[in-house]
């Protein structure tokens, strides 16, 4: 893996005002952003996501730490070099930030004029870009005549005009409806795969991460809590903040209320098992060593269940989805049978996958009219 952005112990504090204390927006962050990746930066409002990303294109400068972008040490650059860096990194925004007094074509042409590209070449490039984002027929219209999705296409064409190696997207789909969001995300995927552009996506929407990102960093209070391949961070989240994020968008486990209702219908021990594959590194290791025949948890779980012949098993809740083309989710079973055999089965399951044994939740149903 080659890093195109390297943060080393980077911090950024905004000075306080008369009425407010200084804000430590980014605290001691050390991460690499992989060249050619689509990396999501997630976290609640105020976590420091925008500041982290604005450090990459030098819209903010670090107070301490080292920051290398495409091999160059940003903290040692002179103002002119910083200006060059800023114009060499594309950026798109939630509110599109188009120039309303200029046509679509003129908006896309603008960065080329700033970069000193000759008129003939500019015209060719603008047409190419508008074709790529699928909006050539609107070239002479003004931004206010366009839908949100069309405006963001113009934003993407403009951001790509100077062939940036890095494209930063700050909540670029948050103002769009779900269908348009999907189209814009597809377009970003094409930018990544056809031009090899590294894309850094700030988002509070987990489905954005699930559908396009290869890597993800989770931020809270200015710190990067976890980062790595999306599947590994999601399936093996260590930090509570990450787990909260995941459960807020992927309802893969029954709520305690659901379990309470199910418990009133089924006698037995309620057990929820995670259905995930091993982390990426372990999987790659397994592929490289043919003697290693480790199975995904789903087949291991199935084997253990079928071996426990004295225990009756009923699936009462299940949600399995895909994250980066790998299974992710859980199944909830009711086990009924001799106590020792049920406990043995649970112990065996715990050895291969995250396994939650539910206490009796039925007290939650008290006062419930239904
Ligand atoms: N220019 C600034 N001056 C002072 N404080 C700032 C400035 N920019 C950001 N902050 C503060 O730094 C903290 C992190 O802000 P930032 O915008 O990076 O977070 P975020 O995770 O992107 O949040 P959001 O999703 O709401 O944009 C916040 O407390 C914010 O108020």
Same domain for 183 and 200? yes
318 Cβ inside 6 Å of ligand 1: no
**pLDDT attached to residue 22:** 93
- Ligand 1 centre to CA of 81 (Å) is 26
CA of 211 to the centre of ligand 1 (A): 26
Atom number in ligand 1 closest to CA 202: 22
- Whether ligand 1 lies within 6 angstroms of the CB of 25 is answered as yes
Claim to verify: residue 328 and residue 226 sit in the same structural domain: no
Which of left, alpha, beta for 189 (phi over 0: left; psi -120 to 50: alpha)?
alpha
Q: Round to whole Å and give the CA distance between 279 and 370.
A: 43
Ligand 1 pocket, 23 CB below 6 A? yes
pLDDT score, position 221: 94
Q: What is the CATH number of the domain that holds 316?
A: 3.30.70.260
Round to the nearest angstrom and report the end-to-end CA distance of the chain: 56
DSSP per-residue letters across 217-286: EEEETTEEEEEEEHHHHHHT--SHHHHHHHHHH---S--HHHHHHHHHH--SEEEEEEEEPPPHHHHHHH
Which atom of ligand 1 is nearest the CA belonging to 52? Answer: 18
Of 248, 277, 312, the residue that ends a domain is: 248
Helix, strand, coil percentages for the chain (3-state, nearest 5): 40, 30, 30
For this complex, say whether ipTM is above 0.95. Answer: yes
Nearest Cα to 300, choosing from 280, 275, 279?
275
Q: Please choose from 23, 26, 172, 201 the residue to mutate so as to test ligand 1's pocket, defined by most ligand atoms within 8 A of CB.
A: 23
Looking at the structure, tell me whether residues 67 and 178 fall in a common domain.
Answer: yes
Domain CATH code at residue 183: 3.40.50.300
Decide: 202 and 91 in contact? Cβ < 8 Å: no
CA 152/CA 174 separation, integer angstroms: 11
What pLDDT score was predicted for residue 19?
Answer: 86
Closest CA to 6 of 26, 22, 29, 23: 29
Backbone angles phi, psi at 109, to 5 degrees: -75, -25
Query: Does residue 203's CB lie within 6 angstroms of at least one atom of ligand 1?
Result: no
Going by CA atoms, what residue is nearest to atom 7 of ligand 1? Answer: 14
109 and 65 inside one domain? yes
Query: And the tokens for 94?
Result: 């939630």
Can you point out the beta strands (E) in 15-48?
23-34, 38-42
Say if residue 122 is in the same domain as residue 211: yes
Q: How far is the CA of 51 from the centre of ligand 1 (A)?
A: 6
Here the tokens at position 24 are 């430590």
**Residue 312 confidence (pLDDT):** 96
CA distances from 315 to 28, 250, 268, 342, 354 (A): 46, 19, 12, 15, 17
- pTM, rounded to two decimals: 0.84
Q: Which residues pair with 48 in a beta bridge?
A: none
Structure confidence at residue 325 (pLDDT): 81
Q: Is residue 182 lining ligand 1, measured as CB closer than 6 Å? A: no
Q: What pLDDT was estimated at residue 182?
A: 94
Same domain, 115 and 243: yes
Among candidate residues 248, 281, 300, the one where a domain is terminated: 248
102 contact partners, CB below 8 Å, separation of at least 6:
110, 142
Residue 17 DSSP class: B
Predicted local confidence at residue 298, as pLDDT:
59
Output the pLDDT for position 282.
Answer: 63
DSSP string for residues in 82-131: HHHHHHTEEEEETT----TTS-HHHHHHHHHHHTT--HHHHHHHHHHHHH
Domain boundary among 220, 248, 276: 248
Asked whether residue 221 falls in the same domain as residue 266, the answer is no
The domain in which residue 362 lies consists of 256-366
Residue at token pair 């987990």:
206
Same-domain check for residues 356 and 225: no
Q: Which atom of ligand 1 is nearest to the CA of 60?
A: 1
Examine the domain organization and report whether 261 and 177 are in the same domain. Answer: no
Whether the CB of 48 sits within 6 Å of ligand 1? yes
Residue 319 token pair = 């949600």
The answer to whether residues 162 and 303 belong to one domain is no
pLDDT at 206: 81
Together in a domain, 239 and 269: no
Q: Are residues 50 and 149 in the same domain?
A: yes
pLDDT along the chain (370 residues), means of 10: 94 90 96 97 91 95 96 91 89 95 97 94 97 96 96 97 95 92 96 97 88 93 94 86 76 88 95 84 60 58 92 94 85 96 95 91 73
46 CA to middle of ligand 1, Å?
5
Contacts of 127 by beta carbon, 8 Å cutoff, 6+ apart: 136, 139
* Domain total of the chain: 2
């Amino acid at each position: 893996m080659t890093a195109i952005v390297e943060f080393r112990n980077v911090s950024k504090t905004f000075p306080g005002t008369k009425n407010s204390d200084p804000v430590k927006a980014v605290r001691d962050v050390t991460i690499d952003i992989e060249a050619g990746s689509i990396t999501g930066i997630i976290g609640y409002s105020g976590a420091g996501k925008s500041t982290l990303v604005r450090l990459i294109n030098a819209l903010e400068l670090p107070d301490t730490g080292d920051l290398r972008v495409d091999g160059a040490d940003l903290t040692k650059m002179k103002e002119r070099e910083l200006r060059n860096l800023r114009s060499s990194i594309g950026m798109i925004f939630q509110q599109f930030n188009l120039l309303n007094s200029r046509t679509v074509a003129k908006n896309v042409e603008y960065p080329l004029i700033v970069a000193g590209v000759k008129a003939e070449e500019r015209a060719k490039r603008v047409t190419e870009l508008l074709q790529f984002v699928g909006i050539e027929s609107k070239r002479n219209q003004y931004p206010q005549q366009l839908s949100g999705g069309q405006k963001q296409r113009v934003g993407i064409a403009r951001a790509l005009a100077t062939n940036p190696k890095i494209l930063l997207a700050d909540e670029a789909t948050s103002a769009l409806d779900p269908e348009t969001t999907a189209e814009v995300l597809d377009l970003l995927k094409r930018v990544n795969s056809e031009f090899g552009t590294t894309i850094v996506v700030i988002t509070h929407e987990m489905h954005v991460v699930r559908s396009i990102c290869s890597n993800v960093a989770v931020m809270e209070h200015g710190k990067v809590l976890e980062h790595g391949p999306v599947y590994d961070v999601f399936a093996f989240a260590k930090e509570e903040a990450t787990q909260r994020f995941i459960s807020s968008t992927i309802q893969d486990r029954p709520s305690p209320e659901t379990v309470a209702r199910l418990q009133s219908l089924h006698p037995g021990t309620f057990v929820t098992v995670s259905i995930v594959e091993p982390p990426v590194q372990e999987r790659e290791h397994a592929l490289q060593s043919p003697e290693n025949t480790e199975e995904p948890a789903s087949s291991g779980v199935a084997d253990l269940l079928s071996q426990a012949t004295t225990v009756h098993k009923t699936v009462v809740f299940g949600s399995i989805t895909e994250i980066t083309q790998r299974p992710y989710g859980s199944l909830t079973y009711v086990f009924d049978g001799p106590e020792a055999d049920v406990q043995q089965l649970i112990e065996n399951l715990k050895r291969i996958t995250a396994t939650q044994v539910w206490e009796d939740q039925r007290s939650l149903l008290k006062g419930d009219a239904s």
